[in-house]
Structure 1
Amino acid sequence: MSRTALVIGGGISGLATAALLARDGWRVDLHEAADEVGGRAGSWESDGFRFDTGPSWYLMPEVFDHFFRLCGTTAAQQLDLIPLTPAYRVYPEPDGDASSTPIDVVSGRAQARELFESREPGAGARLDEYLDSAHDAYELAVSRFLYDTYASTKGLRSPAVAGQLPRLAPLLTRSLHDHVARRFSDPVLRQILGYPAVFLGSSPFDAPSLYHLMSHLDLDEGVLYPQGGFTEVIAAVARVAEAQGATLHTSSPVAEILTQDARAIGIRLADGTVHEADIVVSSADLHATETTMLPASLQTYPQRWWRRRNPGPGALLLLLGVEGELPELAHHTLLFARDWQKNFGDVFGRDTRIPDPASLYVCRPSATDPTVAPVGSENLFVLVPMPADPSLGRGGIGGEGAPLIEEAADRVIAQIAAWTGIPDLAARIRVRRTIAPADFEADLGAWRGGALGLAHTLAQSAVFRPRNASRKVGGLFYAGTSVLPGIGLPMCLISAELVVKRLRGDDGAARLPEPSGVGAGRGVGPGRDDA
């Protein structure tokens, strides 16, 4: 008889887990509460505009390709990936009323070195050393840390890791900000190297400097965009999961994980329907999984565990459909407030508030993708890191969100207009929707309304992050942003692989071996090349 698995949650980690389990011969049913799969990587449409409501940076492409290869296909077959030039544009906070002078960051070592040297004599050579270190740290992370389940200390005891300890120790104990500040004086260059901490749900003042490895991704490797948007990434992973034989159920919220003798035996849906299985994998928010789907006696991470945890930032999202073109904005544009430390203190400090002015991010996918906005119009996705505090209220459509949220959105629109030289931006907006921490809590079950997942502080990274298996319930596993290895679509794909490694009894640090003859045999979905 075939082994049976139930997967809770249809975000990318749940879909990837379903695909890999089915590939391993499990009979898999996935249950997603919403009407569509995607989770944080959702989508929303209005008046001819289609918005991604979550991730928008395609980084670590080899992780996506590895996942697809495990399933007998490739990223090239499943997605139409476009390199972005520039990788992103930066607008520093201007002096006075004039708009800021934009800085285009172009990927590639020579281009990055030239940019740094143009702003600070000698910075080009120092950037070479910085990026060499970032590359080495990235390779170490991929080969020794990200794919380790930490079910044993085998990986940590390997000579390859032990030999790196003298170099790792300062990278783990020094903040990313301090690491950068020791090497560069120009404030904008410091911000370019420090902002990736936000991708990790953290602040450059809190994230360990080991995470300088992130600069290898955007400055050395480059940034890609999946044509059609990130909804195409979700569609591809869902397509692959179904091709392996997994069955996906939407509008199917799970109320309870059923156990017997401290072992998972199935789930109970909100409508009372019971489904039994040999194992259960929850890719839902870990806090919600543990505190609402299990009895207190079987919670590995009970409510008291969460009291001292950092939820990462919340976010104010603005989805704006704008009439007319916006060449002032690149596909990715970052606005950096001058008082960097105060800005992050507003989000992560003791006395939190919505920053004003804010360091924020604007995605203009219509710069690359004609399918996301009507002809002659632009699609803008704006992300403003803010405290993870649902009490600030929910967003809404057409300015109908909570007053505090809509007032902040108005300030953000005015800030973008002033800093980038688009004085009539507000008057040209035809579609407007805001999303706030209370929406993340209500719609995604996100703990404290966090937009990304548990922050990557030292105490919440690698061996210190929640594991992919319950310590109290046999046959119960976890995937997603709350657990190993962490935040972001690539990390979610790896978290799915860690579940499979545990089931195979693989306690090594290496990624799973890819099958030979990739692209042939069972499980190849209808790829982009076949369209």
Structure 2
Amino acid sequence: MSQNKQGAQHTVKTNKKQTPAAGPQQVVVIGGGFSGLATAGLLAASGHKVTLLEQQKHLGGRAGRLHRDGFSFDTGPSWYLMPEVIEHWFELMGSSTQEALDLVALDPGYRVWFAGESGPVDLSTGENADAVFEGLAPGGGAALSQYREQAKESYNLALQHFLYDDFSSIKSFINPHTLKLLPQLAPLLGTSLEKHVAKRFTDGRLRQILGYPAVFLGSSPQRTPALYHLMSHLDLTQGVGYPMGGFAALVDAMEQICLQAGVEIITEAQVEGIDVATTGKPQVQAVRWINTARSGIKHNVQEADVVVGAADLHHIEADLLQPEFRAHSQASWKRRDPGPSAVLLCLGIKGKIPQLDHHNLFFTKDWEENFARIHQGRDLEPETSVYVCMPSHTDPSVAPAGHENLFVLVPAPALPAWGGGGPDGTGAAQVEEVADAAIDQIASWAGIPDLRERIVVRQSYGPADFLNTVNAWQGGALGLAHTLRQSAFFRPANHNPKVAGLHYAGSSVRPGIGIPMCLISAELVTKRINGIKKPGPLEFGPAIQSAAKRRAER
């Protein structure tokens, strides 16, 4: 949903930083989202010659941006979680989030509206969150305190033993640490998040708060493994942050760091195919792409020793590779779950809206039916679960003075046939119908009766937009759903076993969905390409520098 109203920028970007005198591999990264940027930067920093190809006018992938009439909208990720993972990438690149970003902590982290309730509930962290739960249901505070502690343990367990493991070797499954953890892991993988929460909380509102993070994982509480209760450590213990300037500021900061590392960035580059040499074991040879800049269409061939597919996995395999080189058959895709799509709505509102906070969640009462309709591809009910981000509550730069910036997300079936959005209500009929219903619901539940009349900017997006702008399989908004069959070691791998030199990063491969997961996938790919087998996060400077030195000495 990336749009640029300011005209085409320079199509080719590069920084003339020196590369090692001998031995760097030529790497082509396909896709300029978070995983593509993170991978390109790490590989350039470790001595490779890296070219990044992005088909849109600017970088970010699903983290799109819209500038219109003085409003600046993020049209993708809006929750800044797992800050230590993001900080780790910046440190690997010789920088820091403190240096590159203006981060603020949100307190409260978010506001929740329940169907039929007279007012919202504000959620903060730690004991403050416990107190809110206690106020909603006697005994809820103590139960949440224990739940948060368990979530912290699971989070640390995942960080130490799973998220930074690409599970490419049988050793990952039979090492003593993994075997020792099996008794603890088995019930968390074999039970749904819904059942895990229900055993500990009886109040429906508390269950909704603790179950909703499954949506961030492209799934539902009924279909997400209980292991992901660890998500509650992120919002209810660590807290929620926000980069001033929006998530476009994070993309821009990563772009500048990549340029400083020597990455060549080419935008408006539509990849047509990956060429594979078949003498001996199949090996990547080149990437073919079209320059779609306004100056004209030009066909290009970029030779490559290594290719990293950081775009949609299905697109990389089904559209850019010949059938014999695909790691995943078409039959296997028929068994996969693309996760939900979404109807997005960017609204510029005249006047202030004190009823809303930075993050706002509206939970429908018929929760199970809501998720069932999304999963089964049925029409949504007029009132459904809705997420509203109002970054202007925190950041005055995203809206003109005296106005508010609203980003509305309605989870929807992954059906491109629903169509796409458009400006001022001109999108596909089904998309605009859902958007109109969301506006009415927000106005009614939050007590903003004149909300519709105050709209001065309106832009919608639908499932077809995800397909058309980022090649998302079936128009999915996030990536493969984190069901049991698509989590941890069951998720697609970060490399193609049929083609030497072909690797994958992003939200549909290990470890999964979300900005931090995409950055970790970049580390997994970097370690594999550099021959680093030490488990855990990629080490700081010395590991990257030693890899660069080995290549320079070849």
Above 0.5 in TM-score? yes
1:510 Cα deviation after fit: 0.7
Distance, in Å, in 1 between the alignment partners of 2:159 and 2:450 is: 46
- 1:236 maps to 2:236: no
| Structure 2 equivalent of residue 203 of structure 1 | 220
Find the aligned partners of 1:502 and 1:140 in 2 and give their Cα distance.
22
Over residues 83-119 of structure 1, what are the superposed CA-to-partner deviations in whole Å (9 max), with x where a residue is unaligned? Answer: 0011000010126xxxx31100012x21011111111
**TM superposition shift of 1:508:** 4.3
Q: Deviations over 1:416-443 (max 9, x none)?
A: 0000000000000000011110000011
The amino acid of 2:248's aligned partner reads T
Q: Which moved more, 1:502-511 or 1:31-40?
A: 502-511
Could you tell me how far apart the structure 2 residues matched to 1:155 and 1:241 are? Answer: 31
Residue aligned with 1:248, SS: strand
Structure 2 CA distance for aligned equivalents of residues 394 and 471 of structure 1? 36
**Alignment of structure 1 residues 37-436 onto 2, 5 Å:** 37-94=59-116, 100-107=118-125, 109-261=126-278, 262-270=282-290, 271-349=298-376, 352-436=378-462
Residue identity in the other structure for 2:26: T
Partners of 1:79 and 1:354 lie apart in 2 by 38
Q: Give the Cα separation in 1 of the matches to 2:543 and 2:450.
A: 55
C-alpha distance after superposition, 1:348-393 (max 9, x if no partner): 13x5222431111000000000110000000000010010000111
Distance 1:505 1:246 in 2: 21
Q: Secondary structure at the match of 1:211?
A: helix
Distance 2:499 2:299 in 1: 22
Q: How far is the alpha carbon of 1:302 from its aligned partner?
A: 2.6
For 1:439, the equivalent position in structure 2 comes to 465
Whether the 8 Å CA contact 2:127–2:145 is kept in 1: the answer is no
For residues 508-527 of structure 1, the aligned pairs below 5 Å read 508-515=534-541
* Residue in structure 1 matched with residue 499 of structure 2 by the alignment: 473
Q: Which amino acid aligns with 2:71?
A: F
Offset of residue 240 of structure 1: 1.0
C-alpha distance in structure 2 between counterparts of 1:467 and 1:335, whole Å: 35
Task: For residue 164 of structure 1, give the secondary structure of its aligned residue in structure 2.
Answer: helix
Determine if the alignment matches structure 1 residue 464 to structure 2 residue 490. Answer: yes
**Aligned mates of 2:188, 2:27 — CA distance in 1:** 40
User: Which amino acid letter does the alignment assign opposite residue 347 of structure 1?
Assistant: I
- CA change 1:517–1:466 in 2 (3 A) is closer
Q: Which residue number corresponds to residue 20 of structure 1?
A: 42
What RMSD, in angstroms, separates the aligned Cα atoms of the two structures? 1.5
Does the alignment pair 1:33 with 2:55? yes
Overall identity of the aligned pairs, in %: 51
Q: Deviations over 1:174-223 (max 9, x none)?
A: 11011111111111111110000001000001000000000000000000
Please give the alpha-carbon distance, in whole angstroms, between the structure 2 residues aligned to 1:151 and 1:117.
45
CA distance in 1, matches of 2:54, 2:218: 25
C-alpha distance in 1 between matches for 2:491 and 2:381: 28
Q: Does 1:4 align with 2:26?
A: yes
Q: Is the 8 A contact 1:22 1:245 kept in 2?
A: yes
The letter for the 2-side match of 1:268 is R
Which residues in structure 2 correspond to 1:492-531 (within 5 Å)? 492-515=518-541
The residue identity in structure 2 corresponding to 1:391 is A
**368-377 or 114-123, which deviates more:** 114-123
* Distance in 2 separating the partners of 1:48 and 1:103: 31
C-alpha contact 1:280 1:476 (8 A) present in aligned 2: yes
* Aligned-partner SS, 2:159: helix
How far does the alpha carbon of each residue in 1:461-482 deviate from its partner, in whole angstroms, 9 at most, with x for none?
A: 1111111111111111111111
Aligned to 1:163, the other structure's residue is in SS state helix
Paired residue total: 513
What is the CA distance between 1:74 and its match in structure 2? 1.0
Cα distance in 2 for residues equivalent to 1:234 and 1:37: 7
**Distance in 2 of aligned mates of 1:394 and 1:413:** 18
CA deviation after TM superposition for structure 1 residue 505, in Å: 2.6
1:394 CA displacement? 1.0
What letter corresponds to residue 102 of structure 1 in structure 2? P
How far is the alpha carbon of 1:32 from its aligned partner?
Answer: 0.6
Q: Distance in 1 between matches of 2:181 and 2:510?
A: 22
TM-score (norm 2): 0.91
* Pairwise CA distance, 1:509: 3.3
Q: Given that residues 441 and 449 in structure 1 are in contact (C-alpha distance below 8 angstroms), is that contact kept between their aligned partners in structure 2?
A: yes
Per-residue deviation at 1:303? 1.8
1:431 & 1:22 partners in 2: Cα distance?
A: 41
Once residues 318 and 80 of structure 1 are traced to their aligned partners in structure 2, the CA distance between those partners, rounded to angstroms, is 26
The answer for the alignment partner of 2:18 in structure 1 is none
Distance in 2 (alpha carbons) for counterparts of 1:328 and 1:158: 52
SS of 2:432's equivalent in the other structure is helix
Counterpart CA distance in 2 for 1:353 and 1:265 is: 46
For 2:44 and 2:478, locate their aligned partners in 1 and report how far apart those are by CA, in whole Å. 27
Is 2:500 aligned against 1:483? no
Structure-2 change in CA distance of 1:75 and 1:517 (3 Å): farther
